[in-house]
Amino acid sequence: MKRLIIFGLSLFGLVGLSLNAQNINFNASGPSVIGVGEHFEIRFQINSDDVSAFTPPYINGFDILAGPRTSRSISNSVINGQVTSSSSTTLTYVLQGNKEGTFNIGGAKINVKGNTYTSNSLKIKVQKNPTQAQRSQPQNRQTQTQQAQQTVTVLDNKALFIKAFANKSQAFIGEEVIITYKLYTLVPISEYQINQMPINKGFWIEEIDMSNDPTITNESIEGRSYKVATLRKVIAYPQQSGKLIIPPLDIDVVAHIASRTQRRVSTGDPFFDSFLNDPFFQSMGQVGYDKVKKSIKSNSISINVNDLPKTNSRFSGGVGSFNITASAEPLSCKTNEAITLRYTITGNGNLSLIDKIDLKIPDDFESYDPTIDDRINKTQSGLRGSRTFEYILIPRVQGEFKIPKVEFSYFDIKTKKYKTISTEEFALKIAKGKDEMTGLAEQITEREKYLKRDIEHISTKKIRFLSPNNLNYNKPFLLVLLILIPILTIAYIIYKNTTNRKNKDITYVKYKKATKIALQRLKKAKIYLANEEKDSFYTEVAQATWNYLSDRFKIVRMDLSFDNIKEVLAKRNIKEETINNLISLLNNCEYVRFSSGEELSKMDKLYEQAINSLSDIESQIK
């Protein structure tokens, strides 16, 4: 999926309609050799007048006689009707060297439009009676800087490139790995688009929202000052062990490189025409900028993933650092009244991959699948927040019951060990409700009422006796009924036992309810769509689709990948067009938010695509 970002004319130094680039240069200059007792000046010059927060260097070995003295200069020029402007600010110190030796003056710092720049350092030698040749070696970084940062006219791999970084090269299964993609440039950039997102096989990816314009910083590499923008940042959770590869990120960039305009001058006089059109004067002409589109790829990243240690505890799948709390409300109620249990896991780690807890509910309660409430933040350092599992219990029998404590076992990244934490147990008191007297309990109560009565009055009515010939046992339908009753009873017992056995199989239950749960999550996504909650909408659609595929086709969560899904669906005779639409949906869930266009229109189309994809699969499944 392509992502298109238009930065505007001011990004990366694009100023004004002429697209003239201003590379900020902050240089220190001064003599390289002075005599003992001599006064001399050092200057810190920057090519901008919008400066603030000047931090002078530590000056050791010299006396400061004056400074810093600030001066500014602004120049304007008009070439062929186009106005260009330049400005500079200079801060000057007057120093005196009183003892022989070689002294270093560190770099100064200054702020320009929110960015901090550091000048070069100076090395000054103080000696007795230096020669004129020694004195004639002024030092500054201007010449080196101009050579290193001369106007870029060729867009090669050193002028513009993208790098991918991982915060770690080794990880356990389920451990957070932060992947960052940075764009480095020496030239102005007006737009970029992501052509192809890497297919990260073996990883579960959580995208960090980078929809705002990237923050621009400065980095120095091999003497060149690069503008650096962070384009993409993701949290990757490895789902299998071994050497896993993060493929390159492929983007297209529109850059502006310098081109000197060659204009033919005609005065009507052949002598002046040949003089003014001489290449020497042409080289001093106006500098313009050409738009150049370039495709670049980041480097790939290799992550060595280790298996988690073996454990005897019931591992939840959580990797990180977590706490668990629980609540029950109310603790006392009547039969057929609802009780709410909430279990909240908080902390940092792979919260979104923890999909169940080990809760044992007494058989005297009717329970339902939990609803999951996520309050998870995708931060620059990983997932932080909480996931709450909410259960609804309906007691059917009066008495006192205990909900046992829930043990939660996770792998602690800091200690490299498993930890088991637990909640408190809950004591519930259930009283009789209005509708409790049903079935057998109602019959027993009725019998007790008759046992308390005195002897009944003797009936005086005439008793009618029937002869065996009047009995209906010989009727055929009665015989059929007597045969069917035990057969139906046995069939019902077999059916009930089979159903109970299947309901205890979590995988089977998820398989049966996969479509229903997916539609419920899509309804929730519809609410986010109506409220224009973009991130929640995309996350809900993605989770609904991935969980549906895992439950409906009994695929283990860590084995979910595009290739695996294609293979499983093809074996179930799902049409190739339907499979392609599904893969497109999964791609769009992650990347359509970054594409251009009206946001609500994109979200509407994505919602319709999700409904159609799941409906097509259900209609074709065999």
The span from the CA of 88 to the CA of 90, in Å, is 7
Q: Which residue has the higher pLDDT, 85 or 384?
A: 384
273 has a pLDDT exceeding 60: no
Across residues 378-392, what is the average pLDDT?
A: 88
Specify the pLDDT at position 137: 60
Structure tokens at 104: 């270093």
C-alpha 550/C-alpha 355 separation (Å) is 12
As a whole-number percent, the residues of the chain with pLDDT over 90 amount to 14
The pLDDT value recorded for residue 356 is 85
CB 238 within 8 A of CB 202: yes
What pairs with residue 329 in β-bridges?
340
Does position 411 have pLDDT exceeding 50, yes or no?
yes
Q: What is the DSSP string of 467-489?
A: -GGG--TT-HHHHHHHHHHHHHH
Q: What is the pLDDT of residue 592?
A: 57
The stretch 507-512 carries a mean pLDDT of 54
Q: pTM of this prediction?
A: 0.47
| Model pLDDT, residue 441 | 38
Q: Which of 369, 363, 374, 367 is nearest to 339 (CA)?
A: 367
CATH architecture of 160-304: Sandwich (2.60)
- Residue pLDDT, tens place only, 51-87: 888 888 888 888 888 878 888 777 655 545 555 667 7
Q: So what CATH class is 24-144? A: mainly beta
What is residue 452's predicted lDDT score, i.e. its pLDDT?
A: 45
Residue 24 above 90 pLDDT?
no
Average pLDDT over residues 150-168: 83
Number of neighbouring beta carbons within 10 Å of residue 349: 24
Regarding predicted confidence, which is higher, 281 or 503? 503
Beta-carbon contacts of 316 under 8 Å, excluding residues fewer than 6 positions away, are 354, 356, 357, 358, 408, 409, 410
The strands making up 51-55's β-sheet, listed across from edge to edge, are 51-55, 109-112, 115-118
Q: Which helix (H) or strand (E) holds 602?
A: helix 599-620
What is the CATH architecture of 322-431? Sandwich (2.60)
Indicate whether 280 pLDDT > 50. Answer: no
User: Which range has the worst mean pLDDT, 46-60, 133-147, 243-257, 514-528?
Assistant: 133-147
Both tokens of 590, joined, read 């992650």
Query: d(Cα 434, Cα 419) in Å, to the nearest integer?
Result: 45
| pLDDT tier for residue 421 given thresholds of 50, 70 and 90 | very high
Taking every pair of Cα atoms in the chain, the longest distance, rounded to a whole number of angstroms, is 152
Helix ranges (H only) for 278-393 are: 279-282
**Is residue 333's pLDDT more than 70?**
yes
How many CB atoms lie under 10 A from the CB of residue 594?
20
pLDDT in tens, 8-19: 333 444 333 233
Q: Do the Cβ atoms of 246 and 204 come closer than 8 Å?
A: no
Residue of 526, 593, 546, 527 lying closest to 208 (CA atoms): 593
Hey, which CATH number is domain 506-620, 1.10.10, 3.30.230, 1.20.120, 3.30.70? 1.20.120
Strongest mean pLDDT among 2-16, 24-38, 453-467, 512-526: 24-38
Q: What is the pLDDT of residue 322?
A: 94
Residue 165 has what pLDDT?
92
Residue 537 pLDDT greater than 60, yes or no: yes
The pLDDT > 70 percentage for the chain reads 74
What span, in angstroms and rounded, lies between the C-alpha atoms of 125 and 119?
19
pLDDT at 406 over 80: yes
Q: Is the pLDDT of residue 546 over 70?
A: yes
Which pLDDT score is estimated for 347? Answer: 92
Pick the more confident residue, 333 or 462: 333
Is residue 383 pLDDT above 60, yes or no?
yes
Q: What is the pLDDT of residues 165-207, one digit of tens each?
A: 999 999 999 999 999 999 999 888 877 787 767 777 888 888 8
Please write the tens of the pLDDT for every residue from 234-244.
899 998 989 99
Of 272-276, 473-477, 614-618, the range with the lowest mean pLDDT is 272-276
Task: Label residue 591 by pLDDT band (50, 70, 90).
Answer: low
Pick the closest to residue 391 from 428, 420, 418 (CA basis).
428
- For residue 386, pLDDT beyond 90: yes
Which of 28-42, 126-140, 443-457, 543-557 is predicted with the least confidence, judged by mean pLDDT?
443-457
Q: What is the mean pLDDT of residues 246-260?
A: 82
Say what the pLDDT of residue 590 is: 66
Q: Where is 325: in which H helix or E strand?
A: strand 315-329
Does the fold of domain 506-620 match that of domain 160-304?
A: no
Domain extent listing, the chain: 24-144, 160-304, 322-431, 475-504, 506-620
